[in-house]
Each structure stands twice: as structure tokens, then as C-alpha cells.
Structure 1
Amino acid sequence: MLERSPQVKRAHLLRRPLAALLTLPLCAGGLLTLAAPAQAAVPTGPTVSVTLGDSYISGEAGRWMGNSDDTGTDRDGTDRAWNGSGYDPTTVYGSTYASGCDRSDVAEVASATGIAQAGVNLACSGATTADVFRAADGGQTFKGEAPQADQLAQLAAKDDVKLITLSIGGNDLGFSDVITSCAEDYLIWDSYCNSTQQQTIDAKMPAAMAGVGKAIDEVRAAMTADGYTDSDYRIVLQSYPSPIPRSSENRYPESGWTRADTGGCPFWNVDSDWARDTLVPEVSDQLAKVAAAKGVQFLDLRDLLQGREVCSTATQLATPSSPPSATTSEWARFVDVGTTTQGTTQESMHPDYYAQLALGHCLSLLWAQSGADYACRNTAGQDASGMYLTPAS
């Protein structure tokens, strides 16, 4: 075997993997060590809590304090957009009302306290997981805005992000289509939706959950590029609450159309039970698995609205003699159906003003609990201050 010249040996050495170089003997008494490249420092700007995702965290329906079937003026005090002479939704949603992102003034990140010096809402109503991904990795512009992970990167480059809360996946599963289909089956077709919609959800679930997992990866990648380590901030993935009650907890009879004409919950009993006790728990369980696989904290919201749902027996519509109240009103927006509507239909079946205050309180409680997963529930007869955490099952 031919002996290599010193020059050839040196060239061969430089081509060896870095891992091998790190353990090469420097001399009899030490090892060759190479300094790791300097990493950008976490910004010294104000601490920030950020929310990403879809309508359930952007603040959709924050305009409404309960529900009323009165279509005039302030709708018995439930419509926060009423200014005395007309309706101005920008007082609630600001400039995002024009785009339809509908980030309300009481959205979860805005109503939470004790987490950071500032709260920033980057979520947008209607967003899918692809709207969270970075543009460099398949993310897309949505409603005139850059992908949310890219917006996060810009923010995290100047401010000290401490908490990132994500609500996403519902639009990948087609939640709005499920609601529309089930309402139409009650109002028009006199049939049930649960069987066909379950098949649709099952078919979409793998891709939707893969998208949620990638969204978490994209958030981490954006933060890493800005110089953060995993210990510098926390990611929370949250699930979705059920806006409709079980059939046994619905204050309106199944027949007679009062559920649609008055209550705004046009669903058959079997479909209500399926949505409340099968669909919502299934989605929550799948999101919990993604959170566990990705090593992020999970906030289970499946029972957040228990007893506060649209048409629930424990609540009532606001009337001229019974104004809206956090203790008696519904905590979700009813389905806007009929010839005379209030607000926009995209607000239907979303947490309203009272629920968003409750969600903010849940997030505040969770911030004090690192690591473990929790579920957030309400206390009957109390306002948002009655929210409490229990270990997630």
C-alpha cells in the first residue's frame, strides 16, 4: 500500500465529518475542540404572548354578549357593535373586520392576564394549517396576510416571545361544512347528518392532524431561526369546545321549529348528541395525540361551554326585561338563520364575548402550570372568574 504524502493526508483530514474532528487527539494531553457558531440572542424587547390559528382563537363572535331574537337596535343589549345609530363591527374587530380575520378586542390573548407584557393576536378566522406554515415551506398568504409563522418570526426577532398558543385543524376538517350540512338536514331535508359527516371527518382526519403537527414544527423552526431555544418559550395547542348541547340539555323541543326560529340551534337530537359526545371528543383526543408527539402542552376545551351552549337548559335568550349576563346568557353565538339576520353568518357557533373572557382566564391559569396537560371548565352560575383546570384525561 502506497504511503500518502503529508499534503494528501491533510486534504483527506479536512474532508472528514465534523463529528470525527471533535474527537481527534490534539496531543497526548488534550483533544481538539471547535467552538460552536454563535447563536443570535433572544431579543430584549417586551415579553409577548402570541396566538396563532383560526377563528376559535382569533376572537370570532366576540361582538356578541349572549343571544337575542330581537333584530332591532342593540338586540336587547347583546350586540356590542351598536353605536346608538347603527352598527360598527370595527369597534370590536378593528381593521381586521374588513379582511374577515375578525380579531376581537376580547380574544383569548387580549383577555388573558399575568403572562407577558403584551399580547399579539396573529390568528385569522377561516385559517387552515397551511396558513400557519412558513412561506418557504409551503405556507400561503391568507386574506392578504403573510403566513402566520412568518409573521411570528418578524415579531420574535424584536420582542421576547414567551408563550405561543395555537388553535388549528378545524377548518382542515371542514367544521363549517359540518354545521351547514347538519342545519340543512334539519331545516330542509328532514334527514340526519351524523353518519355522512362522520365519514367525511374520518377521511380528513389523518391529513388534518399531520397539518397540525407540521404547523407546530413550523412555529419551532421560526423561533429557532430567531435565536430561541425550546426552553425560552412555551407552545400550547388547544382543542375546540362544543357550541351545542346534548339533546337532553336542550331547552327547546325537537319538533315545532323553535330551535331554528327562536333558539338558533337547528339540529336534530341524534345529530346534537353526535356532535357533543362523539365529534368534539374525537377531535380533542386526536389533537392531544399530536401535542404529545410534538412535546407541547395541551389545553383541552371540549367541556368549556358545558351548560352555556346555544339552547342549553341552564341559559336563556336576552329580552328587554332580562338583559344579557355572564351567568344567565349563552356563551356561544347561535346559528344566524331566517330572512332577518344579525351580524355575519361566519360568527355562528363560535365562543362569544363571555366565552372569550373565559378562554383568556383559562390561558392565564394554564400559564401557571408548566408541563402537564389540562382541561378547562366553567363553574355553573359564575362568570369567567369561575373557570378552573383539571388534569386532562
Structure 2
Amino acid sequence: MPRVLALLGLAAATCVAPAPAEAAPAGPTAVVSLGDSYIAGNAGRWRGNSDDPFGDRSGTDRAAVPNGYDPATVYGTTDGGCFRSDVAEIRRTGIPVDQALNLACSGAESPNIWRSAHGGQPLEGERPQADALAEVARSHRVQLVVLSVGGNDIGFGDILQACMTGYLTGTGSCHTAQQARVQTRFAPAMAAVDRSVKEIRAVMSGAGYAPADYHLVVQSYPSPLPRGAEMRYPESGARTYEGCPMFDADLDWARDTLMPRITDGLRAVAQANGTDFLDLSDALQGREVCSRNSHMADATHPPSATGSDWARYFNTGALQGELKESLHPNAYGQLALGRCLGRLWNAGGGSRKCRNTPGQGYDGMYLTTG
């Protein structure tokens, strides 16, 4: 464990969780998600991607209603804020509980997880997520808590934005400059994630839970973009038009350097804290935005879980939905991630990697060890 903590740049001091203050409640059973946009359900409005700006956008827009669009049919009251979708991962696991509760919020960083009494910060008008979890833990018998956080601490969205800007403006590749940015922010980000895990443990302990009473899962991120050689468009204007404007070199760096480093860091946090770990880094392989193994939806190729992209394209002027939905798992992707989490539960936890089966829909997700 000291080597793991040193790898993360964390203090090696032992943090002992307080003894449970009371017995775990015997209310309705629940599973709970905490974290950022990837688990909140941002982009759940979309089934694949389409160039069509009208109507239901070739069947891809789940928010299409007669004479307009109503995103609240997908995001409810969180539209424009936390973007919690009706197909968010926690709601589609198949785990047999009374309630699946999504406390995650688009844009969340680690301080949005921590308890307010310990420096936690509100987001989108909502209290810190650990405070919300404390209430749930006392009113429900929580079976599982899953956490997705750290990407915004590192600035993952800003990194991709910088890379796409370099492509769109012709100013060149981004990965050298962005690698330096990651190097600066990585250790503090992972230390903050580690603190988030400890905050969750403390909340559950205070509500009367022993660690064996529930599963705590730290999960990584699926890559929304493929490698350069896996793109269905060459480096040309088509990438701009189709919502994947990045150079091959930057795509390769993001997929084979940045994403593995984030995954390894989160895995180390999970190991240091004795939690389960769900590696989602390859969950969208072959289904990413502009992958040559998937296609845009149109009149000839309607959206489908077997043929469409599983992530939302970069919305560059198509006037479809919100820019914040860009480069997140869409409805198909979220259903796939829900299957991953459900399969981890059925396997009894541990450290597992989730993959998709080429040519199959989201029911074809499977786990490998690691």
C-alpha cells in the first residue's frame, strides 16, 4: 500500500474511519451513483448521431415531440444543469433493488463530492453529493455506491477542447502542450479522488454501515474517440463536419496515453482504499464518435445499438441539443455502461474490465479480470 500511495502522490498517513455510530437501516434497498457527467447521464438524449437538423434528427433525438423538443422528457428537472438522464448507468444495471438513485451531476469535481462540513462545494444549486448520500444511507439499505470522478479535476474536457481547437483553427497538434498540463494536475487530482472515496466511507460508517455491508465501486472512463487509424474519415474537413475534429497524433495520444494514465490512477485509488474497480476504458471500442466500425444515422441507416456511434459527437454548429452533451456516452453508451456495472455486481465485485462484443448491442457487454 505505501507504494500505491506514493504513486498517487498522497500522504502515507493512515486514515482510520470512525466506528459505525448506529446499525445500518432496514429501509428500501438502493443503489446509488455519485460523480460527474459520465455517470450522471449527460448525452442520454441521443441515439447515435445524425447530420439532419430537423424533426427527430433521423430518429436520434429522444427529446423530439410534436412541433419541437422537450429535453425534460430525458433529463427531467435537471435539464441544463446536472443532466441526469432516464438511461443513466445506475438506472440500467438490472440489480434487483427497490430504488436506483442518481446523485451525480454534470461538471462535478472531487470537492463537489465531499461533505460540506469538510470543505465540500455545491454544484448547480445542489448540496455536495456526500451530504445527499448521508440522507439516503439513513433512509435506505444501500447495497452499492459507484463513483465516477477525477476527469474534471484533471481538466479532461478542456484538454479535448484545446485539441479540437488546434484542428479547427489549423494551429496544429495539441498533445505535447496538453501532456505537460496533465503532468501538473494529475497527482493533485488523484489525491482529491482518494479523499472522495474516504468521504464516502465516512458517510456510510456514520450511517451504521460496515464496509462489508455494501459495495463501493470506483470506475474509470470510456474513451469517446477512437485512435487515428480507427477513424472513418481522414484528416480533412469531414472530421469537422461530422463532429470529430482532431489530428491523428492527438487521437492516438488521448486514447493510448491520456486515458490509460487516468485509468491506472483511478485503479490505484481503488486498490489503496480496498474498493471494487470497474475499468471502462475499452467499453466503447469500435463504437466511438467517428469510428470506422459505426455510422451516422440517416434515412438509409436508422439509428441502432448495433451500428450507431455510442458517444455524442462534438456539436459544432449543428444546432442539436447542448454543447455540454458533446463527447459523452449517448443512450446506447449509457445502457452499455449500466450492463457493465450490473455484470460487476453479479460477479461479486473485484477489479474487472468491461468490453463490448463487436456487432452486438449493449446486451453484449462482458467482463474480463484486471
| Same fold per superposition (TM over 0.5) | yes
Q: Partners in 1 of 2:134 and 2:96 — Cα distance?
A: 20
Which residue of the partner structure matches residue 207 of structure 1? 188
Per the TM alignment, residue 189 of structure 1 is displaced from its structure 2 partner at its CA by: 3.5
Query: C-alpha separation between the residues in 2 aligned to 1:154 and 1:204?
Result: 32
Contact 2:31 2:100 in 1 (8 A): yes
Which residue of 1 is the match for residue 278 of structure 2?
A: 299
2:356 pairs, out of 353, 371, 378, with 378
Q: Relative contact order (C-alpha < 8 Å, sep 6+): which is higher? A: 2
- Partner residue in 2 for 1:315: 294
Question: 1:272 & 1:86 partners in 2: Cα distance?
Answer: 36
- Over 3 Å counting, the alpha-carbon distance change for 1:38 and 1:187 in structure 2 is closer
Letter in 1 for 2:240: A
How many Å apart are 1:44 and its aligned residue? 1.1
Distance 2:20 2:348 in 1: 29
Task: Report Cα offsets for 1:242-291 as digits up to 9, x if no partner.
Answer: 11111111010112x10011x21000000011111111111001110111
**What is the count of residue pairs matched by the alignment?**
352
Match of 2:235? 254
Taking the aligned partners of 2:342 and 2:101, their CA distance within structure 1 comes to 15
Structure 2-normalised TM-score? Answer: 0.93
Tell me how far 1:38 sits from its aligned partner: 8.9
For residues 244 and 104 of structure 1, the distance between their equivalents in structure 2, rounded to whole angstroms, comes to: 22
Aligned counterparts of 1:139 and 1:375: Cα–Cα separation in 2: 31
Unaligned runs of at least 5 residues, structure 1: 1-36
Please tell me whether the aligned partners of residues 41 and 88 of structure 2 are also in contact (alpha carbons under 8 angstroms).
Answer: yes
The whole-number CA distance in structure 2 between the counterparts of 1:172 and 1:334 is: 22
SS of equivalent residue, structure 1 residue 95? helix
Alpha-carbon distance in 2 for matches of 1:84, 1:332: 26
**Alignment-mate amino acid for residue 143 of structure 1:** E
- Contact persistence 1:47–1:159 (CA under 8 A): yes
Contact 2:20/2:208 (8 A) holds in 1 = no
Contact 2:20-2:206 within 8 A present in 1 as well: no
Corresponding residue of 2:175 = 194
Structure 1 residue 117 and structure 2 residue 93: aligned?
no
Q: Counterparts in 2 of 1:128-143, with a 5 A limit?
A: 128-143=109-124
1:265 match: secondary structure: coil
> Gapped runs of 5+ residues in structure 2?
1-18
**Structure 2 partner of 1:369:** 347
SS of 2:224 mapped into structure 1: coil
Moved over 6 A (4+): none
* Paired residues of 1:115 and 1:364 also in contact (CA < 8 A): no
Q: 1:49 aligns with which of 4, 9, 31?
A: 31
Per-residue CA distance 1:12-35 (angstroms, 9 max, x = gap): xxxxxxxxxxxxxxxxxxxxxxxx
Which residue is 2:85 aligned to? Answer: 104
Per the alignment, do residues 278 and 115 of structure 1 end up closer, same or farther by CA in structure 2, a change over 3 Å counting?
Answer: farther
Once residues 362 and 62 of structure 2 are traced to their aligned partners in structure 1, the CA distance between those partners, rounded to angstroms, is 18
Pairing partner for 2:365 from 363, 372, 387: 387
- Counterpart residue type for residue 61 of structure 2: D
Residues 88-126 of structure 1: per-residue CA shift (max 9 Å, x gap): 00000000114x100000000111112422100000000
Deviation at 1:370, TM superposition (A): 2.6
Which residue number corresponds to residue 253 of structure 2?
Answer: 274
Find the residue that maps to 2:65 and give its secondary structure.
coil
Q: C-alpha separation between the residues in 1 aligned to 2:96 and 2:214?
A: 11
Aligned AA (1:146): R
**Structure 1 residues 159 and 303: CA distance shift in structure 2, 3 A:** same
Partner of 2:162: 181
Structure 2: distance between partners of 1:371 and 1:335? 34
Aligned to 2:5: none
TM-score normalised per structure 1 = 0.88
> 1:115 touches 1:367 (CA, 8 Å); kept in 2?
no
SS in structure 2 at match of 1:94: helix
Show the counterpart of 2:337: 359
Q: CA deviation at 1:210?
A: 0.4
